[in-house]
Structure 1
Amino acid sequence: MDASAVATTFGAQLPPWVLTELADAPETLPTDEDRIRLTNRLADRNHREDTGGPFAALVVETETGRLVSAGVNLVLSSGLSSTHAEVVAVSLAQTRLGAWDLGAPGGPDLELVVNWRPCVMCYGAAMWSGIRRLVIPGEGPELEQLTGFDEGPMREDWAEQFEQRGIQVTSGVLRDEAIAVFRAYGEREDAVVYNARGSATVTS
């Protein structure tokens, strides 16, 4: 075989507008509401910029509220199906800290803040990342109903599985605000939904 034809690297990069949004954010995000509010803001702009779906995530120091990393869904802009917001945020945090384990001894407790319950892929990514807390607006069917995205076959006791592994789950933070972002995406005539078997266009 021609080994030179085999790809040997891959990667993704945050779009410049994310840094612009973060420049207007405070140095620390002291409350869950502060953290989810920024996540919702990034998720809403992400789909309006056509860089990916209406999803965003942060990695934050639990005690201080210091932002470690921010991620948005980059599937459309990167051409990589794995670049969901949670994977991007976790990977950037690990890169910044130089550690694959975000829960390693000696470091501050870190949490993942997402604008809805992680999909089946990001469920695993979050669980193995080393975070000690997950903060979300909700985990109901609204995301799939409003956007058409398939979040995968999540087990009913998903939150308990996190808790058994020392990862606290907090849900219900600014739920209506998060749902409004999904509704806005679903109402777009040109919204692209990239599910397991190809893509489809959501029609309002």
Structure 2
Amino acid sequence: MKETHPFATRVNAQLPGWLVKELHTYNALLPTAEDRVRLTNRLAARNYKEGNGGPFAALVVDPATGELVSVGVNVVLSSGLSSVHAEVMALSLAQARLGTWDLGSAGGRPLELVVNWRPCTMCYGALVWSGVKHLLIAGDGPECEALTGFDEGPMPTDWRAELEGRGISVTSGVLRSDAIAVFAEYGRSDALVYNARGTGARPRE
């Protein structure tokens, strides 16, 4: 039946082709925090060079076994959707794979979100509502914004306590210098910074 209204009725966000082609190589377990963050750093370093979005990647992992449940990268530029950050992709793909919006109910496993830096304001909210029980990040200081030019939003000063009060533990500082190196490389590149201020994507100022 032909639609007669001007409204969009669906959106589509998907992992980039280069990552889909490599997914079969990610079947190995990631038993340590370093293993997991190392993968996010590597994916983040490649993602912006492929033109998909910023230098950000995320995983959902079962930390008890090291099983990788899902992989996400930032696809804002390739999708044209401002909300599809790496964390949103990883969480959504995990929910699609496991068939539940509540990852805390996924077979009783306390799943972990792994990111190459502290989530932005939007992804912080997505984390809270996802059902994961742990957040593992490379770092959480000012370096990301300072080196990349991205606006990560107004985070609460007590963001860790807010998460822990909701049953989500936090580990930070794993391969931190490697994550900062990715941001520094991005900052030296000619990649677009897409802070929305009515100007769309624009070169770094």
Query: Does residue 1:31 correspond to 2:32, yes or no?
Result: yes
| Aligned partner letter, 2:64 | E
Hey, what does 1:174 align to over in structure 2?
Answer: 175
2:15 aligns to what SS in structure 1?
Answer: coil
Q: Distance in 2 between matches of 1:39 and 1:26?
A: 15
Greater mean alpha carbon deviation, residues 103-112 or residues 158-167: 103-112
Hey, what does 2:66 align to over in structure 1?
Answer: 65
Deviations 1:72-128 (A, max 9, x none): 000000000000000000000000000000001743110000000000000000110
Q: Distance in 2 between matches of 1:139 and 1:9?
A: 34
Distance 1:180 1:81, change over 3 A: same
| Aligned partner letter, 1:122 | C
| TM-score in terms of structure 2 length | 0.94
- 1:5 is displaced (CA, Å) by 0.9
Q: Distance in 1 between matches of 2:21 and 2:176?
A: 25
Q: Distance in 2 between matches of 1:7 and 1:148?
A: 32
Q: Distance in 2 between matches of 1:29 and 1:62?
A: 8
Is the 8 Å Cα contact of residues 72 and 85 (structure 1) preserved in structure 2?
A: yes
Query: Does residue 1:200 correspond to 2:178, yes or no?
Result: no
Q: Distance in 2 between matches of 1:61 and 1:16?
A: 25
Q: Distance in 2 between matches of 1:105 and 1:150?
A: 33
CA RMSD of aligned residues (A): 1.5
1:127 aligns to what SS in structure 2?
Answer: helix
Q: Distance in 1 between matches of 2:24 and 2:106?
A: 31
Q: Within 5 Å, which residues of 2 pair with 1:102-121?
A: 102-104=103-105, 106-121=107-122
| Aligned partner letter, 1:201 | P
Q: Within 5 Å, which residues of 2 pair with 1:104-183?
A: 104=105, 106-183=107-184
Q: Distance in 2 between matches of 1:51 and 1:106?
A: 33
**What stretches of structure 1 of length at least 5 have no aligned partner?**
none
1:28 aligns to what SS in structure 2?
Answer: coil
2:72 aligns to what SS in structure 1?
Answer: strand
| Aligned partner letter, 2:148 | T
2:105 aligns to what SS in structure 1?
Answer: coil
Is the 8 Å Cα contact of residues 100 and 106 (structure 2) preserved in structure 1?
A: no
- 1:25 is displaced (CA, Å) by 3.6
| TM-score in terms of structure 1 length | 0.94
- 1:180 is displaced (CA, Å) by 0.6
Give identity over the alignment, percent: 64
- 1:3 is displaced (CA, Å) by 5.6
Q: Distance in 1 between matches of 2:106 and 2:77?
A: 36
Aligned length: 201
**What stretches of structure 2 of length at least 5 have no aligned partner?**
none
| Aligned partner letter, 1:124 | G
